Structure 1
Amino acid sequence: MALPSVPRFGSLFPDPLNVRRGIPLYYLKSEEENRRDVYERYDELVARQTALHLADELHGGYPLRKVSDYIRQWLPDLADAAAVDIGCSVGRQIADIAGGHPNWDCYGLDFSYQMVRQAQDYWKEGKTLNPNLLRFGYPTVALQGQVLPNLHFALADAKTLPFPDRSLDLIVNTFLIDRLPDLSATFAEWLRVLKPGGRLITISPLNFLQLDHWRQHYPPMKIIDPLLRDGWDLLDLTDPLMIHEPMDARGNEVVWKTLAFVVESPC
Structure 2
Amino acid sequence: MRQHYITTKPHYYTTIIEATPVSLLPTPISVRRDIPFYHAKSEAEFKDDVYERYDELVTRQTGLHLADELHGGYPFQDLLDYILRWLPAADTPLAVADLGCSVGRLAAEIAIRQPASTVYGLDLSYQMLRQGHDFWVKGATLQPNLLRYGFGNPQLKGHQLTNLHFALAKAEELPFPDASLDLILNTFLIDRLPQPLGAFAEWARVLKPGGRLITVSPLNFLKTQSWREAHPPAKIFAQLMGAGWQLEDLMDPLLLDEPMDARGNAVRWKTLAFVASRG
Work out whether 1:148 is the aligned partner of 2:161: yes
- For 2:25 and 2:250, the matched residues in 1 are separated by 31
Q: Does 2:41 align with 1:29?
A: yes
1:254 aligns to what? 267
Q: 1:61 corresponds to which residue?
A: 73
8 Å CA contact retained: 1:89, 1:119: yes
1: CA distance, partners of 2:242 / 2:86: 22
| Shift, 1:184, TM fit | 3.0
Residue in 2 that maps onto 1:70: 82
Which of 30, 52, 67 in structure 2 is aligned with 1:40?
52
Is 1:167 paired with 2:151? no
1:52 matched to 2:64: yes
CA contact (8 A) 1:76 1:199 kept: no
Does the CA-based 8 Å contact 1:199-1:263 persist in structure 2?
yes
* Distance in 2 between residues matched to 1:229 and 1:162, nearest whole Å: 25
1:7 is displaced (CA, Å) by 4.5
1:12 aligns with 2:24: yes
Taking structure 2 as the reference length, what is the TM-score of the superposition? 0.91
Paired residues for 1:190-201 under 5 Å: 190-201=203-214
C-alpha distance in 2, partners of 1:238/1:165?
A: 29
2:108 counterpart letter in structure 1:
A
Separation in 1 of the partners of 2:198 and 2:36?
23
Partner AA of 2:179 in structure 1: R
Structure 1 gaps, min length 5: none
Q: Give aligned-pair identity as a percent.
A: 61
How far, CA to CA, are the matches of 2:264 and 2:224 in structure 1? 32
Q: Deviations over 1:49-74 (max 9, x none)?
A: 00000000000000000100000112
1:75 deviates by 2.1
How far the C-alpha of 1:185 sits from its partner, in A, is 2.6
Amino acid aligned to 2:189:
L
SS state at 2:102 partner: coil
> What is the aligned partner in structure 1 of residue 12 from structure 2?
none
Query: What is the CA distance between 1:100 and its match in structure 2?
Result: 0.3
1-structure distance, mates of 2:217, 2:169? 20
Partner of 1:209: 222
Secondary structure of 2:167's aligned partner: strand
**Are the counterparts in 2 of residues 200 and 264 from structure 1 also a CA contact under 8 Å?**
yes
One-letter identity of the residue aligned with 2:235: K
1:81-230 superposed matches below 5 A: 81-230=94-243
The whole-number CA distance in structure 2 between the counterparts of 1:119 and 1:70 is 22
1:63 corresponds to which letter in structure 2? Answer: P
Q: Tell me how many residue pairs correspond in the alignment.
A: 262
